[in-house]
Chains A and B, each alone.
Chain A
Amino acid sequence: MSDLPLKDPFPVDPIADGEPRPGKVRNPIGWSTIMLAALVAVSAGLVYRRDGVSGLTETLFHDMSLFGGILPRVLAGCLLGAFTAELLPHDKVSKSLGPKSGLKGLLIATAFGAILPGGPFTAYPVASALLAVGADFGATIAMVVSWTLIGYGRAVAWELPIMGTDFTLWRIVISLPLPLIAGAFGRFVYGRLDRDRPR
Chain B
Amino acid sequence: MSASLLIDIILWASVAALGFMAWQRGRPVLVTSVREGTMDFIHIVPRIALGVIGSGYIAAIIPAEFIIGALGPSSGWLGVLTAVVAGAATPGGPVIGFSICAVALKAGGGTPQVLAYVVAWALFAFQRLVLWEIPFMPAKFVWFRAAVSLPLPFIAAAIAMAVGKP
Instruction: Give the interface of A toward B (CB within 8 A).
Output: 1-2, 4, 6, 14-17, 20-21, 23, 25-26, 28-30, 32-33, 35-37, 39-40, 43-44, 46-47, 50-51, 55, 59-60, 62-64, 66-67, 70-71, 73-87, 117-122, 124-125, 127-128, 131, 137, 140-141, 144-145, 148-149, 153-154, 156-163, 166-167, 169-171, 174-175, 177-178, 181-182, 185-186, 189-190
- Check A87 against B25 for contact (C-beta < 8 Å): yes
Known contacts being A63-B55, A82-B40, A174-B160, is A36 close to B18, with CB within 8 Å?
Answer: no
Interface of B is mostly: helix
Q: Which residues from B are CB-within-8-Å of A23?
A: 138
- The listed residue (B11, B36, B101, B139) touching A117 by CB distance below 8 A is B11
Q: Which residues from B are CB-within-8-Å of A181?
A: 151-152, 155
Give chain B interface residues in 113-138, CB to chain A under 8 Å.
115, 118-119, 122-123, 127-128, 130-138
Smallest Cβ-Cβ distance to B46: which chain A residue: A28
Q: Which residues from B are CB-within-8-Å of A51?
A: 60
B contacts with A, residue count (CB < 8 A) = 86
In the complex, whether B19 has a CB less than 8 A from a CB of chain A is yes
Q: Which residues from B are CB-within-8-Å of A25?
A: 135, 138-139
In the complex, whether B44 has a CB less than 8 A from a CB of chain A is yes
Q: Which residues from A are CB-within-8-Å of B57?
A: 40, 43-44, 46-47, 59
